[in-house]
Structure 1
Amino acid sequence: MRKNRQFDYQPRYFDDKGKGNPYKIETKFDKFRSTTANQRGLKNKISNALSDAKRQGDRNIKIRMAVIIAILVFCFLYIIDFDLSIFFS
């Protein structure tokens, strides 16, 4: 009888050194997020939320978001035929 063939196949994400689980799904930004840390207790959650709120974001994104919201509000007011003359005398 003939012997079975053997192949040297290794999966792409296989770690033969044992430095991690090859089946664990983790995004590349998880280590930079503050929300993925183990947060036990109400005090830790509140302090993390306050520190995230104090952190400055990108100013361009804030301006862009304000413009988009303003356009959507004006479109909604136009659709429902809202009369803006009540604000002006």
Structure 2
Amino acid sequence: MLSWSFRVLTRRTYIGEHEWGKRSKHGDPQSPDNIVIVPVPPIIERETFEAVQKLLQARNPKTELLARVVIGPTLLTGICFCEKCGGAMTI
């Protein structure tokens, strides 16, 4: 379960932009075209919110991985190397 402070730091509602209809009644994500932005009184300054988003993105270990590593074959990567060129082998 997410902490209250993390929710405040990541939900746009707290900067005055509540997103309504983000999920269906069954919990499935909706298309961005179906999401309605409802203005609400902000409790966090937009600059502070954006600065926190940049810090969270920089600290997220998932963003440091290259796309090819995430979606590519990685079974032997870093374990077996080519004797001729020294390149990493994969299956």
TM-score normalised by L of structure 1:
0.28
The structure that is helix-richer by fraction is 1
Greater RCO, CA 8 A, separation 6+: 2
Larger radius of gyration: 1
